[in-house]
Structure 1
Amino acid sequence: MATERTIVRALAAFTGSLALLLVGLVTPASAEPETPVAYPSGSTATRANRLGFDACTAPSLTALKAWKGTSPYTAVNVYFGGRNRACAQPNLSKSWVRGATKAGWKLLPTYVGYQPYCILGGKHYHFRASNATSRGTSDATDAVARAKALSLRPGSALYADIEHYDRSKSSCRTAVRRYVSAWTKTLHAKGYLAGVYVHQNSGLRDLSDVYNSTKVARPDAVWMARWDGSESLTGWPTAPNWQWSVYQRAKQYRGGHRETWGGVTINIDSDRIKAPVATVTRTYKVTSTVSLNARKGPSTSYPVVRKYAPGASLRVVCQSRGKKIGSTRVWDRLSNGAWVTDRYVSTPSRTGFTRAVPRCTYPGQVTASALNTRTGPGTSYPTTGSPLPRGSLALVICQKKGSNVRTTSVWNKLRDGRWVSDYYVSNRSNTTWSRPVPRCR
């Protein structure tokens, strides 16, 4: 009987794999390593592709103003919490976050929590394999509370700082993986993306080694320290290029040094960033002469949930396409989750997207080893572009019904216009729509 059951299971597995190969897909992962992000309404992910710097203490807004336009940097790290945070932060506040964002800076939030017990340095608060999960959970919970206090919206990527450690100790490697897994799952459950800052020869190597492990959750982005002067985000010696490959990498390529721009000198590390960063609202005004309707979705077919008087302030999180109103199809998603047409909002553009405002995206990690992308929502559409590797972030902007794949007929439209089956993207459901992703119009 045991032999017969083994044969039956093998035949079933072969049949399932063959069916999936016919549509160019492979079996999805279980909950781990790809755990879904529970995005609330009024959230979005924000990504950056630029040079940045990190300083122990957040610079003043005056210093940032002096550096903006004179330096090559347009992103700045902020150490926003953690038991092992080294420097005081007299400048860091909600108003600082608003001011830095309004000036055009993207923010890279970093949390210096508990460190591995085998750390090669003098941090005082440590975790071991026995308590790494609880430390990762508590640090992530505290990080979310501190992020919200600074008005860093859900959908933001929060980065755990894991300093260089002695990876010759197997228990320490286990501890780091457990901590990062708990950090990731806790942030995902609270609506945030999970990043980690790691050294190329310890944390990055150990996370790369378990990239496909079903025992630990995989972070969404890695920020690697390697002070070789190269800004390259590929060709890393301890993680292959296909891992964390879609706007999921940053590199600290130069260590502490002083730079002067606009007459202001700051001691910094230099970074190249192509990764998710903080999401922050931007305030605009209602420009209509009558009350502006805010709706449940980006179209006049959705019910009205609120009205805003002429001149009222709106906290805009992101923009997406919807029903054309006047000269524009752009709709603005507000911090309360409602939508208003951009036609009557004081954003710079009346016809298209505003560059300073992020597109509404709800990333989920790809659960297939190589996910085909197509020109439309179905397997009958031709493939286009390179397949997405496992663990890459599918930057979903909206969803639409298409051909059935396994348990769902939902397809995701990506930011670049390609389509993928929702079955192979880690989000809230493998059978139906995933809130708060809007329907494609």
Structure 2
Amino acid sequence: MTPSLDTMRRWRSSKYGAVGVYYGGRGRACPHQPRLGHRWMKEVQRLGWRVLPVYVGSQSPCAVAGLKKTYRIGRHAWRQGAQEGRAAVRRARAVGIRAGSPLYLDMEAYKYRQKKCARTTLTFVRGWDRQVRGKGYVPGFYSSADSGVAHMRAAARAGARDLPSVIWFARWHTRPRLAREPVLRGSAWSSRRRIHQYAGNVKERHGGRTLVIDRNLVHAPVARIR
């Protein structure tokens, strides 16, 4: 659930400067977020927060988490990815996120070494990316380092087109680092287009308010709020 503006104000006393916002998608855990809208976006920006917009759409057919299998990609992966890419842009515009902003597609861990599943998932991601990029936004991609991110790296090596422009990789229980991620060695996605999620489900209290958060190191584009 999106925190209240008062909580966001109080948390300015923390060391953090950016907030991830699950702004849309049929697979997000909290589909009803009454606080989240254009006003909320403008106010958190005014408070000094940078916003990372996350879209949790359809998930891989070989997703690891059982709950995510409810939202699996269907038979027409490219068409579905394109439709959800357009939906991601419409929703972004509705909450005041301008063109030129990144939109991060959340694809939870999946068994990417299963070839049929990998093809379906990659086709969906490419369709989503093409639509988002074509509408003037920057397609980003969030997943675990050893599943979705490894898959995108393999696709890049194979010469696939319409891949994400920014990578947000989850590798917990390690030091925060952008340049030394083993899966991203070499030229794939410069360290200026990466986010490292290095811890998750951490309870913290700032300004008298407690939240459960994921910790991230960010060197990547953030939302432009109109």
Normalised TM-score (structure 2): 0.95
> Map of 1:7-406 to 2, 5 A cutoff?
57-68=1-12, 70-87=13-30, 88-121=32-65, 122-123=67-68, 124-128=70-74, 130-245=75-190, 247-281=192-226
One-letter amino acid of the counterpart of residue 247, structure 1? R
Name the CA distance, whole Å, in 2 between partners of 1:233 and 1:65: 28
RMSD of Structure 2 on Structure 1 (CA):
1.3
- Aligned-pair distance for 1:216? 2.9
Q: Is the 8 A contact 1:84 1:114 kept in 2?
A: yes
Name the CA distance, whole Å, in 1 between partners of 2:29 and 2:191: 32
- Aligned-pair distance for 1:230? 1.4
- Aligned-pair distance for 1:149? 0.3
Structure 2 counterpart SS, 1:211: helix
Structure 1: 5+ residue runs without aligned partners?
1-56, 282-441
Q: Is the 8 A contact 1:133 1:179 kept in 2?
A: yes
Name the CA distance, whole Å, in 2 between partners of 1:215 and 1:274: 24
Runs of 4+ residues over 2 Å off in structure 1: 212-216
Q: Is the 8 A contact 2:178 2:191 kept in 1?
A: no
Name the CA distance, whole Å, in 1 between partners of 2:154 and 2:171: 18
Name the CA distance, whole Å, in 2 between partners of 1:66 and 1:215: 44
Structure 2 counterpart SS, 1:151: coil
Structure 1 counterpart SS, 2:220: strand
Structure 1 or 2: more helix by fraction: 2
CA shift in 2, pair 1:238/1:214, >3 Å: closer
Name the CA distance, whole Å, in 2 between partners of 1:214 and 1:165: 22
- Aligned-pair distance for 1:251? 1.0
CA shift in 2, pair 1:277/1:241, >3 Å: farther
Normalised TM-score (structure 1): 0.49
Deviations 1:58-98 (A, max 9, x none): 21110011010x21101001001111111132211110000
Name the CA distance, whole Å, in 1 between partners of 2:49 and 2:89: 21
Q: Is the 8 A contact 1:176 1:203 kept in 2?
A: no
Deviates further, 211-220 or 101-110:
211-220
One-letter amino acid of the counterpart of residue 201, structure 1? D
Structure 2 counterpart SS, 1:278: coil
- Aligned-pair distance for 1:242? 2.2
Deviations 1:27-64 (A, max 9, x none): xxxxxxxxxxxxxxxxxxxxxxxxxxxxxx22111001
Name the CA distance, whole Å, in 2 between partners of 1:89 and 1:246: 33
- Aligned-pair distance for 1:169? 1.1
Structure 1 or 2: more strand by fraction: 1
Name the CA distance, whole Å, in 2 between partners of 1:212 and 1:165: 20
Name the CA distance, whole Å, in 2 between partners of 1:66 and 1:192: 31
CA shift in 2, pair 1:108/1:207, >3 Å: same
Name the CA distance, whole Å, in 2 between partners of 1:134 and 1:214: 21
Larger radius of gyration: 1
One-letter amino acid of the counterpart of residue 14, structure 2? S
Overall identity of the aligned pairs, in %: 35
Name the CA distance, whole Å, in 2 between partners of 1:235 and 1:215: 24
CA shift in 2, pair 1:239/1:246, >3 Å: closer
Q: Is the 8 A contact 2:172 2:200 kept in 1?
A: yes
- Aligned-pair distance for 1:212? 4.4
Name the CA distance, whole Å, in 2 between partners of 1:277 and 1:182: 22
One-letter amino acid of the counterpart of residue 248, structure 1? R
